[in-house]
Chain A
Amino acid sequence: MVKVWQKPESLTDKVLHYCPGCTHGIIHKITAEVMDELGIREETIGVAPVGCSVLAYNYFNCDMQQAAHGRAPAVATGIKRVHPDKPVFTYQGDGDLASIGAAEIVHAAARGEKITTVFVNNAIYGMTGGQMAPTSLEKQVTTTSPYGRDLDHAGHPIKVSEMLSTLPGAVYIERVSVHDVPHILKAKKAIKKAFEYQLEGKGFTLVEVLSTCPTNWGIDPVESLDWLKDNMLPYYPLGNFRSPEKEGK
């Protein structure tokens, strides 16, 4: 019998704790597949965040450090400076990266820290139970924006990829989505590129992945994919914001 598919070696056998329909599992899988394809699993050191993916160290089958809320890019910086030849990545959600850890990600990018960040944006706080995130959309209802996000009161959702793209140290920034198979394949390609640029020592790389949160959005998994497509894509346009080719690096 021909084996047509197998679980990536870069994932452990542990059962994921994510809610039904959440796309963290897909993002874990494509990240792990990239590590397999590049043959870097045994060298890689990952940093897990605080938030839904706090247990990422249980799932990625490589050396891992768990960081305090928002501090993953600083922890990754410490690791990378000690092991400049090893691939180092952070896996962070939007509360972790765009709110409490905004300074850490901005400065890691500004320094051109040679790490890769997989940034999962589902426009809400998941782990703590559906509060407003810095990425929550206008009028989006959450437990802490019960009447819908009011821009006049809570400010505007942060476009992280666009913001970081203004920094010369950020050599590769791309926003992708995982709401259907073609987009999942594109997302994987982007994550692979980010790791490749890191391995080439080019600078800071980040892939923003638009993701779903059926539990806290309060809609079923299939509708969540549509909600992402209909609501997140217009505000968070997909595409490449920065690449070494564009910058002639």
Chain B
Amino acid sequence: MGKTLMKGNEAIGEAAIQAGCRYFFGYPITPQNEIPAYLARRLPKEDGVFLQAESEVSAINMVYGAAGAGARVMTSSSSPGISLKTEGISYIAGAQLPCVIVNIVRGGPGLGGIQPAQSDYFQAVKGGGHGDYRVVVLAPSTVQELVDLTMDAFEIADYYRNPVMILGDGILGQMMEPVEFKPLNKRDSKEKTWATTGMKDREQNVINSLHMDPEGLENHNLDLQEKYAEITDKEAKSESYKTEDADIVIAAYGTTSRICRTAIDQLREEGIKVGMIRPITLWPFPADAFEEVVDSASKFLTVEMSLGQMVEDVKLAIDGRKPVEFYGRTGGMIPSVEEVKEKVKELVGGEK
């Protein structure tokens, strides 16, 4: 297959179709509207269903119903919309249903703005909804990765019976880049024998997250934790860039990592040894990548389009062994290459 120039949001829509997703339920919100618009055009031609719900709350519950009925299903939204969906995400996680949720993040809190941000990190990786649950969170940094990770997301969701979130931002959603659609990297998922499809020739199936007996609910939660431990063990993913001899290691994900990469290349030309760990899974957090460099690096710097969210996970991974500094812009402001360089130089200078 050749390469096609595609807008990020539309690439997500096409990737979902390529991954076998035939059901989409959503509600319009900027800056991700090209996803539903693309799927509204494409899904009917693939014998699928695009349905615009009356609210984000309804949309995520339609996803719950369709996922419980055995389908590959997706919804997409942006920050305030994801807040509304968190009720449903908690239920979906509780009932162990596979689905893909796309969050093309904009600045908050509240109605915020419509410009890109990474300030939904806490909400995405720490829960958002109620209860002890986890959502697998994937953080693409290019349009190609939007495609690859969206396709993977459906496989991960089915394999673990767990919701998977694509955490992008307004820049990724709106930018155009050449992309290639590769064959789906299939996993050996079990058949959906638990789905509600009508009980002919088998016992009754019930999709449920209610456990009235506290001991039963604790056991259910312990089972979920076992699954989360397996996911942490097997799915954590990151990319390391010029970290082998790096004195300063930057941690950045998504769009911000692209800015940092340019800053790193320029700083290297000036003889400053700096590299980057780019988490690709935000949950599970790729702590091992930090373990590899914690002895050789002298300082860490987390750069985010927020006022400091992922930095907490970096600090947990470093566990006090080295200083972890932070630089961030928020509200739709984007850190510039110059700003990142200046911050790194400040850290290098600070050592003298």
Contact = CB atoms under 8 A, between A and B. Distances in A.
B196 A64 contact: yes
A57 interface: yes
Given A63-B204, A78-B64, A79-B69, A45 B55 contact: no
Interface core residue of A12, A44, A45, A74 (most chain B CB under 10 Å): A74
Interface in A73-103: 74-83, 86, 103
B23 A77 contact: no
A178 B57 CA distance: 33
Interface in B61-83: 61-71, 73
Interface string A35-51: 00000011111010000
A78 B63 contact: yes
A12 B65 CA distance: 23
Interface in A147-176: none
A82 B49 CA distance: 8
B205 A63 contact: yes
A234 B65 CA distance: 37
Interface string B193-225: 000111111001111111000000000000000
A82 B25 CA distance: 12
Nearest to A57: B206
A104 B69 contact: no
B62 A75 contact: yes
Contacts of A65: 64-65, 68-69, 196, 206-208
A74 B53 CA distance: 8
B197 A78 contact: no
A62 B65 contact: no
Contacts of A63: 196-199, 204-206
A96 to B, nearest CB: 13
A170 to B, nearest CB: 15
A174 B82 CA distance: 37
A42 B206 contact: no
B21 to A, nearest CB: 12
Nearest to B207: A65
B131 to A, nearest CB: 12
A106 B91 CA distance: 22
A121 interface: no
Contacts of B317: none
Contacts of B71: 82
B86 to A, nearest CB: 11
Contacts of B61: 67-68, 71, 74-75, 78, 104
Contacts of A66: 95, 206-210
Contacts of A81: 23, 49, 51, 62, 66
Contact of B62 (A41, A54, A78): A78
Given A45-B196, A63-B198, A77 B69 contact: no
A58 to B, nearest CB: 8
A107 B198 contact: no
A55 B212 CA distance: 10
Given A42-B198, A104-B58, A79 B208 contact: no
A76 B197 contact: no
A31 interface: no
A71 B198 CA distance: 21
A94 to B, nearest CB: 19
A199 to B, nearest CB: 13
Nearest to A17: B212
Contact of B200 (A43, A47, A77): A43
B23 A103 contact: no
A53 interface: no
Contact of A103 (B54, B66, B88, B206): B54
B177 interface: no
B87 interface: yes
Interface in B181-203: 196-201
A240 to B, nearest CB: 26
Contact of A79 (B65, B88, B210): B65
A66 B196 CA distance: 11
A61 interface: yes
Interface core residue of A75, A78, A104 (most chain B CB under 10 Å): A78
A94 B278 CA distance: 50
A84 to B, nearest CB: 9
A46 to B, nearest CB: 9
B221 to A, nearest CB: 17
A54 B61 CA distance: 16
B212 to A, nearest CB: 8
A45 B110 CA distance: 38
Given A42-B199, A78-B73, A64 B66 contact: no
7 contacts: A67-B91, A71-B88, A74-B57, A74-B65, A75-B68, A78-B63, A82-B73
Interface of B: 23, 25, 49, 51, 53-55, 57-59, 61-71, 73, 87-88, 91, 95, 196-201, 204-210
Give the 7 A-B residue pairs with the shortest CB-CB distance, closest first: A78-B65, A74-B61, A78-B66, A75-B65, A63-B196, A78-B62, A107-B54
Interface of A: 12, 41-45, 47, 54-55, 57, 61-68, 71, 74-83, 86, 103-104, 106-107
